[in-house]
Amino acid sequence: MRQLCRDNLPGYVESMECGMPSYAKDGVTEVGFASQKNYISIYALKSDALEAHRAELTSANVGKGCIRYTKPEKVDLAAVARLLKATAASDGKVC
């Protein structure tokens, strides 16, 4: 997941925020991910990018800014990559 973020979020600063890898642009965190007890979470905080790709995330539980996969093999890496690219291109607000 880290490499996917690094490949698709050019110009973002990688850091640890709230105990998880996070990616910020202009000092604002827009993406993060974490391995929880029962799922893998991807925090995609640009709501316009998330809404545009919601239909592609069929194997996940998708909330306002959180995408949850119950098993690593369910993560659709291609869909996540497209979401990350859309996030990088978006001028929308962070939710």
pLDDT of residue 60: 94
Q: Decide: 60 and 33 in contact? Cβ < 8 Å.
A: no
Tens of each residue's pLDDT in the chain, 95 residues: 999 999 999 999 999 999 999 999 999 999 999 998 899 999 999 999 999 999 999 899 999 999 999 998 999 999 999 999 999 999 988 98
Strand order in the sheet with 61-62: 13-17, 20-25, 28-35, 40-44, 66-69, 61-62
95 inside domain: no
Tell me the residue range of the domain where 73 lies.
Answer: 2-89
The count of domains in the chain is 1
Report the alpha-carbon distance of residue 33 to residue 75 in Å, rounded.
Answer: 12
The CATH number given to whatever domain includes residue 77 is: 3.90.1150.200
Ramachandran region, residue 58 (left: φ > 0; alpha: ψ -120 to 50; beta: rest):
alpha
Inside any domain, residue 94: no
